Amino acid sequence: MLILGIETSCDETAAAVVEDGQHILSNIIASQVKFHEPYGGVVPEIASRKHIEVINQVVVSAINEAGITLNDIEAIAVTYGPGLVGALLVGVSFAKALAYGRRLPLIPINHLEAHIYAVYLEYPQINLPAIALVVSGGHTEMILVKELGVYESLGRTKDDAIGEAYDKVAKWLGLGYPGGPIIDQLAITGNREAIRFPRPTIKHSKYDFSYSGLKTAVINYTKTTHHPLPVEDIAASFQEAAVDALVSKVMNAVQDMAAVSIILGGGVAANSRLREQLNAKTTGKDIALYIPSIVLCTDNAAMIAGLGFHKYNAGNRSDLSLDVNSNLKWEKWGEKWGKMGTARKMGTAPYF
């Protein structure tokens, strides 16, 4: 079965064709980095306008690269949340129009669940239960994966997401955008023990995260220290504190939940220090670590289409009243693909 996936939750316009939820025939991603770089972060209005400009071209490219035609597509899967509301509207509106015009089933996808599914594209058999850590510019979430489609939210950021903190620290230090890869690269030559920045903790909340205080600590250090250390040391010390907070909570959750695997997803999953620490914590133990390839860590549509195949088979579809939900949250699900967010009129049959 061939499914077209569409992803526009933030600043990447993406489309992909995936066969039977596993075989990636195409995975096209149009980046907007150069348009947001002058501002040091994603500007929602610019993101929305750029999605409108290129989405048709991106979808056509995905179809052509897959070596098929629109007549071969059997369903359309699209991200409806969480994300930037204007950006999401572009993708959902395009998907609905295409589904209506081609009389195809429409499958709404939770962007965070898709990041978890990304590892299934490369590792079809994953040992469960698993602790999934989804980390990016907009998300820092930890989820217990009982089986594909059955999840329990354990914790999330209470303020800045980790990727957002990277971008803000990089902007303050004058390093450029996006901050994640820049700081990661600088940290290689820096001393990660040069400055003991605070490890973010939240009282009475074992699995939640907070990165606003760490960001502020870096800013205060540069403001109040007469002779600050080299930027490489600041970057390495900041990264060590940021990653320590993730790894310690994940390992606690693995023990508490008797999990046998860790799944990493999202743009920050590409971070070299995070991968290194998790590898060190799991090597020699009965804990499997699943990290997707870099292209599948970033926002992409292959993970949308791949997950869409399983949702289609489960009858998880929407009619044309599907709306976006920029603040879509995880719920505690007791059965496979129970209610998720506010996708309206979700039913077990196509809308035609």
> Do 59 and 148 share a domain, yes or no?
no
Residue-wise pLDDT for 6-17, tens only, equals 999 999 999 999
- What local confidence, expressed as pLDDT, does residue 347 receive? 39
> Do 161 and 266 share a domain, yes or no?
yes
Asked if pLDDT for residue 331 goes beyond 80, the answer is no
* Contacting residues for 333 by C-beta, under 8 A, at least 6 apart: 149, 150, 151, 152, 339, 340
> Do 24 and 86 share a domain, yes or no?
yes
How many percent of the chain have pLDDT more than 90? 82
> Do 237 and 138 share a domain, yes or no?
yes
**pTM of the model as a whole:** 0.91
DSSP state at residue 184: H
Mean pLDDT in residue range 268-283: 94
Residue 339 maps to a domain: no
> Do 260 and 133 share a domain, yes or no?
yes
Mean pLDDT in residue range 152-177: 92
pLDDT band for 182, please (50, 70, 90 cuts).
Answer: very high
> Do 67 and 140 share a domain, yes or no?
no
pLDDT band for 338, please (50, 70, 90 cuts).
Answer: low
Residue 336 maps to a domain: no
Residue 101 maps to a domain: yes
Residue 332 maps to a domain: no
Residue 347 maps to a domain: no
Per DSSP, helices labelled H in the chain are 33-36, 44-65, 85-102, 111-117, 162-172, 179-187, 212-224, 231-256, 272-282, 294-297, 302-313
Asked if pLDDT for residue 323 goes beyond 80, the answer is yes
If you count DSSP H runs as helices and E runs as strands, how many of each does the chain have, helices first?
A: 11, 10
> Do 53 and 147 share a domain, yes or no?
no
- What local confidence, expressed as pLDDT, does residue 304 receive? 98
pLDDT band for 228, please (50, 70, 90 cuts).
Answer: confident
Q: How many whole angstroms separate alpha carbon 81 and alpha carbon 69?
A: 28
Residue 161 maps to a domain: yes
How many percent of the chain have pLDDT more than 70? 93
Residue 334 maps to a domain: no
- What local confidence, expressed as pLDDT, does residue 351 receive? 36
pLDDT band for 333, please (50, 70, 90 cuts).
Answer: low
CA neighbours within 13 Å on the CB side: how many for 321? Answer: 7
Residue-wise pLDDT for 288-302, tens only, equals 999 999 999 999 999
Q: How many whole angstroms separate alpha carbon 118 and alpha carbon 304?
A: 8
Report the domain count for the chain: 2
Domain boundary among 291, 322, 340: 291
Asked if pLDDT for residue 124 goes beyond 60, the answer is yes
SS3 13: strand
Candidate from 113-117, 144-148, 192-196, 348-352 with smallest mean pLDDT: 348-352
Pairing of strands 261-265, 288-290: parallel
- What local confidence, expressed as pLDDT, does residue 337 receive? 64
> Do 250 and 106 share a domain, yes or no?
no
Residue 342 maps to a domain: no
The boundaries of the domain holding residue 47 are: 2-116+297-313
pLDDT band for 225, please (50, 70, 90 cuts).
Answer: confident
> Do 155 and 278 share a domain, yes or no?
yes
Q: Taking Cα atoms as reference points, which of 82, 178, 135, 188 lies closest to residue 297?
A: 135
> Do 277 and 150 share a domain, yes or no?
yes
Mean pLDDT in residue range 23-52: 95
151: left (phi over 0), alpha (psi -120 to 50) or beta: beta
Q: How many whole angstroms separate alpha carbon 131 and alpha carbon 292?
A: 15
- What local confidence, expressed as pLDDT, does residue 336 receive? 72
CA torsion, points 207, 210, 213, 217, in degrees to nearest 10? Answer: 80
Go through 65-85 and write b for each residue having 16 or more CB atoms within 10 A of its CB, e for each that does not. Answer: ebebeeeebebbbbbbbbbbe
| Helix, strand, coil % over all residues of the chain, rounded to 5 | 45, 20, 40
- What local confidence, expressed as pLDDT, does residue 200 receive? 73
pLDDT band for 137, please (50, 70, 90 cuts).
Answer: confident
Look up the CATH number of the domain holding residue 86.
3.30.420.40
Surface-to-core class of residue 345, CB atoms within 10 Å of its CB (0-12 exposed, 13-18 middle, 19+ buried) = exposed
> Do 73 and 196 share a domain, yes or no?
no
> Do 203 and 225 share a domain, yes or no?
yes
